[in-house]
Amino acid sequence: MCGIVGYIGNNESVPVLLEGLSKLEYRGYDSAGIAVMTNEGMKVRKFKGRLKNLEEGIKHENMVSSIGIGHTRWATHGEPSDVNAHPHTNINASIAVIHNGIIENYMEIKEYLIEKGIEFKSETDTEVIAHLVDEYYEGNLLEAVNKAVDRMEGAYAIAVIAKDSPDEMVAVRKDSPLIVGLGEGENFIASDIPALLKYTRDVLLIENEETVHLTKDKVVIYDDLGREVNRDIFKVTWDVEAAEKDGYEHFTIKEIHEQPKGVKETLLRRLDKDNNINLDGIKLTKEDLDGINKVYIVACGTAYHAGLIGKYAIEKFANIPVEADIASEFRYRDPFIDEHTLFIAVSQSGETLDTLASLREAKRKGARIMSVVNVVGSSVARESDDVFYTWAGIEIGVASTKAYTTQLVAMYLIALRMAEESGKMTHEEVSKVIEELKTFPEKLEKILENKDFIQKFADSQFNNERIVFMGRGLDVSVAHESSLKLKEISYINSFSIAAGELKHGTIALIEEGTLILALATQQKLFDKMLSNIKEVKARGAHVVSIAKEGDTAVEKVSDEVIYIPETMDELTPILSVVPMQLFAYYVSLARGNDVDKPRNLAKSVTVE
């Protein structure tokens, strides 16, 4: 959430800022703005709504400038409005600030500044930063920002420019993502790599509690003690075209179609010709595993749902007890963690603040930290002992799709490696599962070929406000993810349940016309699931079941059936979730929603 872009150099800043912000739209936002230094002084322009409002608002203005900052805001303090949009300035607009995150003690600072006669224009926590920097500014911008930061508590990435320091920019990172792009006679800052790919592939990854001082010819990084830090250049190797729609109407449907490739890449990059699993150099010996008495898988949202499948896989294959937990709750319950704990963080962006905070708490208590992430060089990855990268490629759609299925592959590979190394499964048994996984790219393609049927089904149900997802066993976790997808992009208040819980209250909600998406892929629970379907049918529900090819008995109790290819029960989530992703996409489309940028949501959640 919130996108940050900054430019200082020999070229025009405004086109760079607008281009960078356009590449950060996927993060989710409700307003956009820029601040640039011109010969006429600081010019700040900001508008509620989409980036196009900003572009339209400034297209006839003379904003010649070689230094500037830009921002897309996701509201936390104060409603979305022109006034609350970033950048924010001090009273005479000589200092401009953009900010991603939350200043937790902003009210204390605000009261201090009000006592000194400062009048605030906005409802935001960010505005206090501009006034606080002004309070300390005596000609040295770096010093002023450092003094302001010393008084600030919370999570933030900020960038500051000043009228009286026209040749420099200062940025600070604390718990929110920040990178620097390097050019010739120009330098950049941003929240994420896509914002800079048009201009540079040389990136500096800024660590937590570091300050960056930029001029057009030099970048200096300081640690929290004010010491200069040497940082290796990170070379971006993936193509900018990966962030384009490539002929698809939306990023979301493009990324759904990219899942066969993502699954294949995530799987085959870790296997040799004999199906030996290489976890990116992660060392997990029998001795290591014997020393682990507890595994925590901690994540948020879709990644948490992947963690639920990971819990099942590790317990099933490796026979190690696992607890899956929501990151926003994990660190507040003083979990039992010591040096015998393996903590697995799952995050698409690698910047999810709740997950990062939980990781740090587990590390403080002595746990070994493993992460499953999609973004190389992200905060979660850099702060982990071991990293397993999913090979989903860049994901732009706010509602995660291909990141989820590649996370599932990652969890299966980790579980299988644990199982073989600990002696719980033979190599032959592991190889049998691997061989089945190798068929999944083709099986996913087969499901995607059936999208027209799913679209017709979605078009017939897009106005139905009573939708329930249910399943048993592994299907429950897929039901949770399926319901979340629908909520995220269609805004339908659906919910998901374990089908066996119907009689314990939920069945009271089932009435004529209620749409039930019944996942029935688990063979040992198949008969029980048929009974649950009959229960809701008897109360007037319209039932669409998701089952494996060959399980035709489900047709007798369902109104419609969506079949997925036959596979092992343990592996069905990778396949069964795809029809549900398509359903959510087509329902959202039919309802006229912004599929890629759903309301109130952000791609990377960097605040609590």
E strand or H helix that includes residue 97? strand 95-103
Same domain for 217 and 275, yes or no, is no
Q: What is the rounded distance in angstroms from the CA atom of residue 452 to the CA atom of residue 165? A: 58
Count of structural domains within the chain? 3
CATH number of 233's domain: 3.60.20.10
Q: Do 190 and 274 sit in the same domain of this protein?
A: no
- Residue 259: inside a domain, yes or no? yes
Confidence of residue 488 (pLDDT cuts 50, 70, 90): very high
CA distances from 379 to 353, 361, 382, 398 (A): 9, 15, 5, 19
In this predicted model, what pLDDT tens digit does every residue of 74-126 receive, in sequence order? 767 677 788 888 899 999 999 999 998 888 898 999 999 999 999 999 988 88
Would you state the pLDDT for residue 247?
80
Here the CATH number for the domain that contains residue 480 is: 3.40.50.10490
Helix, strand, coil shares of the chain, percent, nearest 5, are: 40, 25, 35
Shared domain for 432 and 506, answered yes or no, is no
- Residue range of the domain that includes 125: 3-237
Mean pLDDT of 224-234: 93
Question: Which residue among the candidates 2, 23, 264, 443 is catalytic per the annotation?
Answer: 2
* Distance (Å, whole) CA 330 – CA 345: 12
268 part of a folded domain: yes
- Does residue 164 form part of some domain? yes
Residue that finishes a domain, picked among 237, 272, 300:
237
- Grade residue 280 by pLDDT with cuts at 50, 70 and 90: confident
- Say how far apart CA 356 and CA 93 lie, in whole Å: 35
Q: 518 and 559: one domain?
A: yes
Write the pLDDT tens digit of every residue in 197-211.
899 999 999 998 999
**300 a catalytic residue:** no
Q: Give residue-wise pLDDT tens across range 250-266.
A: 989 999 999 999 999 99
- Cβ atoms of 430 and 423 closer than 8 Å: no
Count Cβ neighbours within 10 Å for each residue of 41-73 and write b for 16 or more, e otherwise.
Answer: ebbbbbbbebbebbeeebeeeebebbbbbbbbb
* Residue 348 falls inside a structural domain: yes
Catalytic residue chosen out of the listed positions 216, 443, 487, 603: 603
- The whole-number average pLDDT for the span 342-349 is 94
Single-letter amino acid, residue 11: N
381, 414, 438: which is the final residue of a domain? Answer: 438
Q: Based on the number of CB atoms within 10 Å of its own CB, is 304 exposed (0-12), middle (13-18) or buried (19 or more)?
A: buried
Question: pTM for the whole thing?
Answer: 0.74
- Residue at which a domain ends, from 403, 438, 473: 438
